[in-house]
Amino acid sequence: MKITAKLLGVPEIYVGEKRVKFSYLKIEAFIYYLLIEKTISRSKMAGLLWPEDSEKTAKKNLRNVLYHSRKNIDKDLILTPNNTILQLNQDLDISIDLEEYLQDPYSKAQLFQGEFLQGFSLRDCEEYERWVYNKRSKYLDFYYKNLQEKVSQSIADKILINVEGNLQKLIDLDNLDEENYRLLMTYYLINNRHKKILELYSDLAILLKRELAIEPGPEIKKIYEESLEKINKDQKQKDQSYYFYFGRESELAQLHQTISAFKKGSKIKSVYVEGEAGLGKSALLERAYRDFSREFEIYNIPCYEFEQDRILNSIKMFVEALSGLNKFNKLDLEDLIRKIFSIQNLYKNKREIEPDLENLEKDLERLLKNLDDSVYRIFNFEDIHWIDQYSARLLTSLILKDRSKTMFFFTARSKSNDYVEDMILILDKYGILDSISLKALSYEDGEKYVKKAMGQDFTLEKYQKIYKQAQGNPLFMAVFTSQAIEEKEIGVFNDRLVRAIKSRFTSFNKEEKDLLDLLAFFKGPFPLDIIFRLTDLDQQRTIDLLDRLEKRNILFEFEEDGLIYFDFCYEKIKDFIYLGSNQSKRKYYHQKIGNLLEESSRDYKNKLKYLEELTYHFTKAEDLFKEVQYNIEILNHYLDYSHELFPVLDHIDHGRNPNIYMESKEMDSMFASLKEKIDQIEKMDHPDLDHLKEKFFYMRGRFLIRSGNYQEGLEDINYVITRARFLEDMDYMINGYKQLIYYHIQVNQAENMLTYIEEGLKLSVKCNYHKEIGMFLRFKGLYFLMQGAYDRAEKLLKESINTFTVTEKIAREYAINIAAAHSYIGEIRLAKKDYQGAQVEFSKAIKISADKGVKSSLSIFYLNMAKTAYFVKDLSQAKKYLNKAAKLFESYDFYWKRPVLYSYLALLAFEEKDFSAIRKYFDLAKDKTKRMDDPRSKGTFEFASYIILKSTDQKTKNLYFPSFSQTKLEDLKKQGLKNLDPYRDVYEREKLMEE
């Protein structure tokens, strides 16, 4: 007789047509195990089913199970070839659904009625339970993957029978697998069921956000956007007044989900959409309403700013909206409106209104009960931030008690009034509110929007201008995109933009407008203390005004380093206000603000921003002298960081502007412009002109020396020193000496350095400039290193480090100078062939620089570490540090030490026999060597060239290095030995002499 085993789903065993009933679970467990495994030892089976019993008891129990199994199913079911083994008799006619399914999972998928041995469990049999669990997981995974493959193939082949049902099964099994949703959305797309795609996307977006805090993947988003576009296109064809909509897909999906859920019986009754003006609240709701216009009646109820002080006006508008429904008696509605007018008059005359309010609420409740019919409705309250206290209170109560098929939608600007916030908190507390907060469009969403609008006219350059001007505000984006399409100047004010911005100020009082007029003069954020000093109002009144402007989303407040600042939410609003001032007013207030800022540097923790603000005001005020003065300070700020090898961190405002950089071309242009303005000031006979020129020529001189324009740079610095002596300006004399020392370091000329070092030290001691003394000690240590007096050099360098570490503040400011001293000590170790000691010192320098994030010095320290690794043949480390140095050099356009970098990269490429790379690095090194008159860099390039060419055959030389065809190796060697420093380039020189 046939035996049928159903193991997928709730397990069942049949003999013929009769279902087998087992007297206890362990008989079942034994049969199921044997049907799957076919063979098992007696001892293992006994251990699986009776793990806690003794071996003797377990085997006795097993004999009992064998007896009942044979009795209930078939006497020949179990074979015992010996005393230790149990086997399933496979000669019997046994049908097992699991085996049939596994043999052909595509056509036999219907056999998978549930998980393996669904609901079956053995308590206290841990190993057996583990076996069941593992099998369940294995077969379920097999079923899942095969069904998914089958569905995917069916969609590809356009064979769509049972596809939707199978995908729903897959989603039920794993509701977080996005592939199932992608397949189902593709199925809906093929069938033009676009609304289902929107609903499915919204469900998935909410699920993923709640469970995994992620968004749907790009493929799913693409299908969603394609479907949304199709709906938009269809709607546009139906309605020529269609408003182009894009960029709020996730919010639109949330609205779809909320409305759909409400129809299905969800508790949600209200939707609150908040965001500042111009972010698209109305457009979002209008777009959502289009998709539900056939299923919902929609009523718009505006709340007006000019009536916000008139109580119950929003309730009156609500009642008037109800008059459009034929089911209401117009006389009843008119009576309600008369009651509202009566309460308004009582309130105006300061009479008691509470009893009348209670009666009005009861009348409204009775009215809304009549809405409990088969029709779905949405009451859309626009700009609810203008609602009054009593309207908000009544509306809250009505929504809480309403049982009809009605939803209430609200739009409001961010930071609404207290009545709205109370209403939202209460509705949310009772779980009948869904909130959506609109923000400015992200750069990515903005790009999608503009691409869609501009089509073939889109360019990245145009988009960047649009986004910069609009700051992600959809209204501004729409206006500026239109300008781009019409090939007009992007960002100019047109009628639409002016109307939109003006509408924000309709109810502003004179004090608010006057304060905004003043604040629009600032370039960037404005400190609260400066605002206090700028206005004629008392501080409390000023704070109140600022608070109101912040709540209206004109300004925003932030704190930095314990100071409070304000700024405009949008630059365009500030520009609009600023353009309303006449030229004389602008000039007067810019001068006044500039003078105030000069006295208030403590209000700006960010030095660069402070200098830029000062320059902006004095430029607008046409104060040429101060404009030049602060532009020079800005240049100094950039030079301290971008072009100073070992900067003083206090001077560069480090941490707030860690990546500031100005290219040499831009600096050249600024110096040329400032020189012209200084020439104009010279004609005015300004009393402080000498000091201004001193600053300018010092700045230009240091820049030119760093750039390798030595002759012009030295002329400027010598001029500064001469003027400083005449003016007895010790600071600029010291600064001038430092620049002359830097020049001699760059050209590797130690002879003349000592004079300037001693002069600088003498002045620093005279002025008691402790930190400058530390710097000149470092210079002196470097001088003796260049002379080969290593012990004396190291002593001075350590003395310099000690000078910089007397206090924590000085150590922090001069951290990079301390790092430089360690690097020079590392060079001493290199010269003495103490490579391990050198690596220790270079590591100290690297750590300090990396901690402070100073790239200019870090690049040099990496280079030193790379050279050391190369000397000891640790080529992987050498390559690692050279690549790090190369990456940092990309951040700057000065040429100091670049030939050394490229020379060693060429040497490493030679180790790898990459001759194309060698040629590239040779060309780069040669080009950079020409720009800097640095003999050591030239010598390093000649060293690398000699080592590589000497070991390269003639054919390869001709192919890759034709520029060296006329170069004699001996000449390269001779030039290298001449240019390399005998005390600092010991390794390279010895290698050349060995060859």
> What DSSP string runs through 914-932?
-HHHHHHHHHHHHHHHHHS
The four Cα atoms 408, 410, 416, 420 give a dihedral, to 10 degrees, of -10
Say how far apart CA 730 and CA 780 lie, in whole Å.
Answer: 20
Q: How far is CA 426 from the centre of its chain?
A: 34
Q: Enter the tokens of residue 592.
A: 């006044």
Q: Enter the tokens of residue 369.
A: 């009960």
Residue 108: is its pLDDT beyond 50?
A: yes
C-alpha radius of gyration, the chain, whole number: 41
Say how far apart CA 480 and CA 496 lie, in whole Å.
Answer: 11
Which helix (H) or strand (E) covers residue 739, if one does?
A: helix 730-746
pLDDT score at 244: 45
Count of residues in the chain: 995
In the DSSP assignment, the letter for residue 747 is T
When pLDDT is averaged across residues 506-534 and rounded to a whole number, the result is 89
Q: Enter the tokens of residue 401.
A: 């008690």
Q: Which residues are bridge partners to 87 per DSSP? A: 39, 79
Q: 645 and 639 in contact (C-beta within 8 Å)?
A: no
Question: What are the CA-CA distances from residue 138 to residues 102, 170, 256, 665, 705 (Å)?
Answer: 11, 16, 38, 67, 73
Residue 232: is its pLDDT beyond 80?
A: no
Which helix (H) or strand (E) covers residue 243, if one does?
A: none
Q: Enter the tokens of residue 182.
A: 């992608």
**Among 221-235, 499-513, 756-770, where is mean pLDDT lowest?**
221-235
How do strand 296-302 and strand 376-382 relate by DSSP bridges? Answer: parallel
In the DSSP assignment, the letter for residue 402 is -
When pLDDT is averaged across residues 176-191 and rounded to a whole number, the result is 90
pLDDT score at 614: 93
pLDDT tens, 745-780?
Answer: 888 888 888 999 999 999 999 999 988 999 999 999
Range with top average pLDDT, 234-238, 543-547, 895-899: 543-547
Q: How confident is the model at residue 903 (pLDDT cuts 50, 70, 90)?
A: very high
Say how far apart CA 962 and CA 922 lie, in whole Å.
Answer: 12
pLDDT tens, 244-298?
Answer: 455 677 788 888 888 888 888 877 889 999 988 778 888 888 888 887 878 888 9
**Among 60-74, 316-330, 643-657, 904-918, where is mean pLDDT lowest?**
643-657
Share of the chain above pLDDT 70, in %: 94
Q: What is the pTM of this model?
A: 0.60
Say how far apart CA 143 and CA 152 lie, in whole Å.
Answer: 14
pLDDT score at 651: 46
Q: Enter the tokens of residue 236.
A: 């546009």
